[in-house]
Structure formats: C-alpha cells, structure tokens
Structure 1
Amino acid sequence: MAIDRLMANLDLNLLITLDTLLRERNVTRTADHLGVSQPAVSGALARLRRHFDDPLLTRVGNRYELTALAARVAALTGPAIAGVRRVFETTAEFDPSRLDREFTLVISDYAATVLAPLVAREIGRLAPGVRLRLEQTTPYAVDHAADTLRAADGLIIPHGFVTDLPYLDLFEDRWVCIVSHDHPSVGDTLTLDQLGTLPWVAIFDRPTAFAPAARQLRMLGIEARVDVVVDGFAQMPFLVAGTRRVALIQERLARQLAPVTGVRILDCPFDVVPVAEAFWWNPMYRNDPAHAWLRTLIVAAAAPLRHQSG
C-alpha cells in the first residue's frame, strides 16, 4: 500500500527535472535545457529535496556537487526514464515505419566502421523515424556490461568479455598484422621472433581490456613491447605507418584503412582465434516489440559480413 500511495502522488515530470538537475548541477542551466523558467526548476528542486529528505545538491566553493544519495539516484534516472518511455511507446500493433524512438548501441570503432553503416542503412529504409546513437566502448562499459545495458539498447563486442546476458551472433573476422608499407626489416611475412622485438601499437593493454589475439600471443610466451596504447582500432594504422611498429587489427578494418594510411597487411605467424562479434542485450527487452525488431534488423544487416571472407 505504501508503494501505491507513493506512485499515486508521483509527478513523472519531476523525473525529467531530477535527471537534468543531477547532470547539470545548476538550476539556471537546467531551466534552459528544459525550456522552463528558473523559478519552476527551483520549485521542483524543493519538492525533490522534501521527497528524498536530502539536499541533493550542495554548494562547494562556487559550484554545486551531488550528495552521496544524489550520486546513487543519478545512476538510476536514465534507465528509469528509458523504462517509462518504453511503457508509453507500446502499441497493440508494431509498425517500424511509424516508430519514433532512439536506440543506443555501445560499440567499438571497428564494429562502428564495418557494421554500423549497414545497420543505419536498414533503419533509414524501414524506420525513418528511428534515431541511432553510437557510443564508444570503454573498459568500464564492458567490465560492467549489465549496468551498461540498463541505459543502452545493446552492446556490440566479441565473445570472451561478457557472460550471463542474452546475445545474438553477428559475424566473424580474422586478426591480421599491419606494418608500415616501407618497414625496413619486415618483408612479405612476419615471424614470432619479430613480434617479440618490434615495438607495438596496442589496444587499451589492461588486464581486462585487450585484443584477444594479443592475449594469445602472451600465452605463447611472447610479451609485446608496447610503444603506443590507443582506445580504438581505427587509430592503429595511422600510428603504424612510417614507423617500425606493428599492430594486430581486424582484417576488414585493415583493408578499409590500408590504402589511405600506407600500411601493409600480413598474416599472423601463429594460429589465432577469429573475432566473433555478437550483440548483447538486457533481458528486460525480451517482450519489447521495438527492441525485438532492432535485434532482428541488426542480425539481418550483418548477413553480408557472414557471407564473405574478411
């Protein structure tokens, strides 16, 4: 009964104001963002403070900071707003051509380059009212995938990082090595000894953030001498070109970037497990027809990548 009384007295408009206030940490900026008056936001903040019995925002010098409670609430407002939106977007008959919704995918720059254009093309053809937001993966987003997927519609990363969440297989790709077109000591092939002595460009290079192929190399007893660490695969060819460096990269991305960066693509000198990209999602979307449509569309859009070699 207490929950029923709480819901009966709840103004959902306060949720939007709360979310914006906790992001902006400023009444004036919140009012500008929402297109309402400053007194209206001040009044809403007073109501929220009474509801939570907490100041939410406290002045520190010339700025406002979140209280401990507000920091916990801030992590919940985005998923709560998304959930409310899903409730009121539900219709008896689903028609993607009439859908007005934004889908957020957390995705590597590799998948954003080789897969996202295919997905965006299909969305534009079938559901012109849908907006696609692509957010770059980070080690934190992957390590906390369940939390990430409370606010995003999907996470597109290879197998090997996420467990205990539903997924759909998309496509595979090969790992290849890249070196500068004019590399002084590498010919048409690379050796394991060269991989152990040449300087590397590596992705993240952290215990829980790495290229699986690089982890395999370590298992062979070869520790890469990392010269440059990046947070995206697309940067690698530009940092390899004109240097003695080497990098491991997915073949499809390498073939797109090699002509414009001046790198050569070489086979890995060891038996490397392929990249197996998958779409990971939160089971709360299981009965959401729009999300089910998105899942089907992404798998269909990846079909050309499944039916061709890297």
Structure 2
Amino acid sequence: MGTINLRKVDLNLLIVFDAVYSTGNISHAARQLALSQPAVSNALTRLREHLDDPLFVRSGRGVEPTLRSQQMIEPLREALRLIRQQFDGERRLELGSYKRTFRIVIADMLEGLLMPPLLREIAAHAPQITIESRPSWNSSVTDDILAGTLDLACYVFPVSAPGLVFETICPCDYIVVARRGHPQIGAELDTETFLALEQVAPIPELRSHSTIDRDITIGGGVRRIAYMVHKAWSIPAVVGSTDLIGILPRRFAELMAPKFGLQIFESPVPISPQDYHLIWHQRNTDDPGHRWLREAMLKTLRADARSGLVPAASAC
C-alpha cells in the first residue's frame, strides 16, 4: 500500500473508528457519537478505502477488528488524546452550559454517602450534567469501561486491565453486626458462634469482587447465608430486626448502628481489608468534563473523610 495523503483523511473518520472499536457494534457506536447508523457505516467505508483494509468483520451481533485495526488502535488513540489535550488546553470548560450524561457505577455502600453532596455540587456548578447510576451487580465494569459504555466506576475492584486508570479513594475494613441483645452472642463474638449463625449478605454478583467468602473459607468455615439482598443498604435493617448477622464496612456499620440498634463485633475470622477506587479509561484522563467530575467526587470524599463519614486515605 502506498503512502496515505493525510490531506484527504477526515479526522472524524478516526473518531468513528475508535468508537466502533470500543463498542464492537456499529449501532452502539452511532448512539455514542449521536450519529445515524448509516453515517457511521459510511465513515467506515471511507476509512477502509483510505487504508485498503476491511478494518472490521461481522461476528455474532457485532463486529470484530482485523489485525490491521488491532495494530493501529493504540497509536491512534494516543494521537487523538494529544489532539484533544491541545484543543482543551485552549478553552476553559464552561460548566454552566456544559451538557453531558455520565454513566457511572458506585459501590452500594458509598452511593448513599457520596451522591447527595455530589449532586448538590453538580447543581451548584454544572446544572446540565446528568448522572446515570448503573447497578454494579448488572454490569461488567471492566468490559463496559473499555467499551466506552461506562464512564466511571467507584468500586472495590482488585482486577486491572490495560487501558484502565485507578485512583485509590478510601480504605475499607470489615466488621460483623448483630442486633442488640442477640440471644446467642455475648460480650464478644467467637469463631464457633460466628460460623453457626445464619447471615444476610449481598447477592453473588455484588460479592464477586469481595474477598469475604474466600477469607472465611481460608479460615476454615463456610458462611451460612440465609438471605441475599440486591442492595447492601438493606443489611442493617434486616440484621436489626432478626437474629441474622451481617458483615459490613466498619464506617458504614458505625453510621447505621444507632439507627437500627446494632452491635458491632470484630470478625473472629480474619477478613482482608480492601480499598475503594475511582476507575476510568485512560482516554478520558484529559477530558475536561470527565476530569471535573472526578475532581468533584474526590472533593466530596475528602469532605466526608474530614467529617468521619468515610475513612480517610492517603490518596485523598
């Protein structure tokens, strides 16, 4: 193939290429770019002619990249990032008129603490920003961020992937909660009682990135889960009115204990602490709107840490 005449290559073709590669679906790319499906297909046709390569082949309900596409995607994304960075550096983000919907996943334990002050921050400074919160149990966080269908996650997430950026926001250690006056628990909770009592716990999808089940198994026991919930915020209410016990992040349990009449116990079986992270794709690192939202979330979490709502972290 001869040298490509860059004067004949429309930059928008490369943006379309990136969107199709990210989503693996022409219709999804069209929605992401606010274009019609024929417009996206036409852009791909033009780029195929420039590069003399099909770029994508049909596969199942979407498309898969050719070898040429796989070879060019990362250099192309880096080039687009540098171009955006230069343009963004020349203009100030006008928050008052900035209109965008951010699709995010927030760990259940943090959502009720983080979102009210964050929404107040958005209303005060960027009123046309909309947040679409997606359930973590119904989302493949890694795949969705890599595909561009999820903008940001605030999550306990120990697995990394090429292209993802992590920032630790706060630590999380776990304790056991039971209702006050529980007939089978004295001043302390021993291992035998802990393993004998039935528990309320999140559904398996919500526990997929937690080490709790594994740690209890390593400790020689098995959780007797009698009731599974879709929202971890339900656990304090269930524990407070039954003989079930639960495992919760320490600070969250301390906040809920007075309201639901809970006792807090150190776990007799060691449970590994975990960190919450902000997670996003590196292509959004220099995006001014995305950067503002990340900074607003961190600002909110820092304020919560100062007030004791969430644990402080060195990164915050």
Q: Structure 1 residues 48, 94: CA separation in 2 closer, same or farther (over 3 Å shift)?
A: closer
Contact 1:109 1:232 in 2 (8 A): yes
Q: Structure 1 residues 181, 161: CA separation in 2 closer, same or farther (over 3 Å shift)?
A: farther
Q: CA deviation at 1:137?
A: 0.6
Contact 1:198 1:225 in 2 (8 A): yes
Contact 1:108 1:232 in 2 (8 A): no
CA distance in 2, matches of 1:273, 1:287: 34
Q: Deviations over 1:232-290 (max 9, x none)?
A: 21121222233221111112332343344343322222443333111000111123121
Answering whether residue 230 of structure 2 is matched by residue 241 of structure 1, we say: no
Alignment size in residue pairs: 265
2:127 partner SS: coil
Q: What's the Cα RMSD here?
A: 4.3
Aligned equivalent of 1:117: 116
Q: Deviations over 1:47-99 (max 9, x none)?
A: 999999xxxxxxxxxxxxxxx978327xxxxxxxxx9xxx8x96842235332
Q: Which runs of 4+ in 1 moved over 6 A?
A: 4-8, 44-52
User: Which structure 1 residue ranges, 5 or more long, are not aligned?
Assistant: 24-43, 53-67, 74-82
Contact 1:214 1:248 in 2 (8 A): no
Contact 2:179 2:243 in 1 (8 A): yes
Answering whether residue 145 of structure 2 is matched by residue 155 of structure 1, we say: no
One-letter amino acid matched to 2:141: V
**What is the correspondence of 1:1-310 to structure 2 with a 5 Å cutoff?**
19=27, 71-72=61-62, 92-98=90-96, 99-138=98-137, 140-142=139-141, 144=143, 146-147=145-146, 150-164=148-162, 165-205=164-204, 209=208, 211-307=210-306, 308=308, 310=311
1:157 partner SS: strand
1:302 partner SS: helix
- TM-score by length of structure 2 reads 0.66
Q: Which moved more, 1:92-101 or 1:199-208?
A: 199-208
CA distance in 2, matches of 1:197, 1:133: 41
Q: Structure 1 residues 208, 258: CA separation in 2 closer, same or farther (over 3 Å shift)?
A: closer
Q: CA deviation at 1:146?
A: 4.1
Q: Structure 1 residues 171, 49: CA separation in 2 closer, same or farther (over 3 Å shift)?
A: closer
Q: CA deviation at 1:303?
A: 0.8
Q: CA deviation at 1:100?
A: 1.8
CA distance in 1, matches of 2:40, 2:116: 42
One-letter amino acid matched to 2:114: L
Contact 1:158 1:277 in 2 (8 A): yes
Q: Percent identity?
A: 19
Q: CA deviation at 1:199?
A: 0.7
Q: CA deviation at 1:170?
A: 1.0
One-letter amino acid matched to 2:260: T
CA distance in 1, matches of 2:205, 2:219: 18
Contact 1:173 1:251 in 2 (8 A): yes
CA distance in 1, matches of 2:204, 2:175: 18
Q: Deviations over 1:4-46 (max 9, x none)?
A: 99979x9xxxx9xx859x99xxxxxxxxxxxxxxxxxxxx899
Q: Structure 1 residues 46, 145: CA separation in 2 closer, same or farther (over 3 Å shift)?
A: closer
Contact 1:118 1:302 in 2 (8 A): no
Q: Deviations over 1:130-188 (max 9, x none)?
A: 2222212126423635446x112101112424444211111123312111234211133
One-letter amino acid matched to 1:136: P
Q: Structure 1 residues 172, 105: CA separation in 2 closer, same or farther (over 3 Å shift)?
A: same
- TM-score by length of structure 1 reads 0.67
Q: CA deviation at 1:208?
A: 7.2
CA distance in 2, matches of 1:181, 1:267: 15
Contact 2:285 2:291 in 1 (8 A): yes
Contact 1:139 1:209 in 2 (8 A): no
Q: Deviations over 1:103-135 (max 9, x none)?
A: 221112212112222322322232222222221
One-letter amino acid matched to 1:287: D
2:119 partner SS: helix
Q: Structure 1 residues 223, 143: CA separation in 2 closer, same or farther (over 3 Å shift)?
A: farther
